[in-house]
Amino acid sequence: MKVGILTSGGDSPGMNACVRALVRVGISNGFEMIGIIGGLQGLLDQKFRLMEARSVANIIHRGGTVLTTGRSKEFRTLEGQMKAAQILEKNGFDALVAIGGNGTMRGLHKLQQVWNGRIIGLPGTIDNDIYGTDYSIGFDTAVNNAIDAVDKIRDTAQAFDRFFLIEVMGRHSGAIALDVGISCGAEAILMPETVTNLKRVAEDIVAGRERGKNFAFIIVAEGDEEGDAMEISRKMSGLVGEQCRVSVLGYIQRGGNPTRQDRILATKLGAYAIDCIKQGKTGILVGEVKGELAETPFEESYTKKRSLDSYLIGLIDALTI
Ligand code: F6P
């Protein structure tokens, strides 16, 4: 069995732990493991590297991805997908495992229609917006990175009696915003999944001030429908009647050493991907749902919407009295 592995789309902490598990469990099963450098574009450019047990030494604790990643325009075309199939065929690959987000799962689904090898997808994105897994690899670390930053901003907000708007990542997903907002005690959490009513948020901030709250902060996901953090802060400053300061946490959320949860999840899913290949499975995203390993067809993984915890969303108002 010759198995190609790649990381694609936005990197996420834990991808390296997953690559390590894939390589070592693959080799333990007698597979030849080939790293594809630079994501799906790297496959089209035939950037291959033989992975040995020692190639993945000393990476379990590192963020980023040793295989490097990318977003490929060429792979989105039918010509690109056919070219990838020919390359996989010509180079004798039997299987491909890709770690990535929704865009990657869509790409794998297309590839499955033109290539006969076994294809397994693993959820790697800080956005946690893939259907078929409770958590994606990297989400837990990103949330903890953001919590650490927000706690620091909170100190200075409190010292100065200030009002802050803090933007977290999530172009189409409020998963980070919700967990960070609840974990840090935000006054409001603005997300693409919920309707944002700035007037109401402003009234709550003003009412809180009147009840004796000396500082306030709001968490906003970058994909909120009211605009980016600068735009929302301009509107909020006007509505609340005081300056709304902005902190955009940005890429700091995506880096750093993966947490225990991300290392374990990455290792478990990587190992199970090899089991799936052994059993002849293909066309599935491997995730974990309610503590059990779960297999979801590619198409469902990127077309179905993973919903946020509605119980947590329902708590926001009561927690901010
Ligand atoms: O997909 C993860 C993510 O971090 C999103 O939350 C964010 O919008 C996006 O990647 C930014 O990606 P880049 O700037 O690297 O293209």
Q: What is the pLDDT of residues 121-130, one digit of tens each?
A: 999 999 999 9
Question: What per-residue confidence (pLDDT) applies to 203?
Answer: 97
pTM value is 0.97
Q: What is the CATH number of domain 141-254?
A: 3.40.50.460
Q: How confident is the model at residue 69 (pLDDT cuts 50, 70, 90)?
A: very high
> Using CA positions, which residue lies closest to atom 10 of ligand 1?
10
Residue of the CA atom closest to atom 15 of ligand 1:
10
pLDDT at 312: 97
CB of 32 within 8 A of CB of 275?
Answer: no
pLDDT band for 85, please (50, 70, 90 cuts).
very high
- Segment 193-217, tens digit of pLDDT: 999 999 999 999 999 999 999 999 9
Check pocket membership of 127 for ligand 1, CB cut-off 6 A.
yes
How far is the centre of ligand 1, averaged over its atoms, from the C-alpha of 123 (Å)? 15
CB neighbours of residue 62 within 10 Å: 18
* Residues above pLDDT 90, as percent of the chain: 99
Query: Matching CATH topology for 2-138+258-303 and 141-254?
Result: yes
Annotated catalytic residue 94: no
Q: Assign domain 2-138+258-303 to its CATH architecture.
A: 3-Layer(aba) Sandwich (3.40)
Establish whether residue 222 lines the binding site of ligand 1, counting it when its CB lies within 6 angstroms of any ligand atom.
yes
pLDDT digits over 29-66, tens only?
A: 999 999 999 999 999 999 999 999 999 999 999 999 99
Q: Which of 171, 220, 252, 254 to mutate to test the pocket of ligand 1 (most atoms within 8 A of CB)?
A: 171
Give me the sheet containing 284-289, strands edge to edge. Answer: 48-50, 32-36, 2-7, 95-100, 118-123, 284-289, 292-297
**Model confidence band, residue 143 (pLDDT cutoffs 50, 70, 90):** very high
CA distances from 275 to 154, 207, 270 (A): 46, 56, 9
Residue pLDDT, tens place only, 224-257: 999 999 999 999 999 999 999 999 999 999 999 9
Buried b (16+ CB within 10 A) or exposed e, 22-46: bbbbbbeeebebbbbbbbbbbbbee
User: Which of the following is catalytic: 11, 127, 140, 179?
Assistant: 127
Instruction: For residue 43, give every residue at least 6 positions away whose Cβ sits within 8 Å of its Cβ, in sequence order, or none.
Output: 4, 6, 36, 75, 84, 87, 88, 96
Query: Domain segments of the chain: what residues?
Result: 2-138+258-303, 141-254
Q: 214: which DSSP letter?
A: -
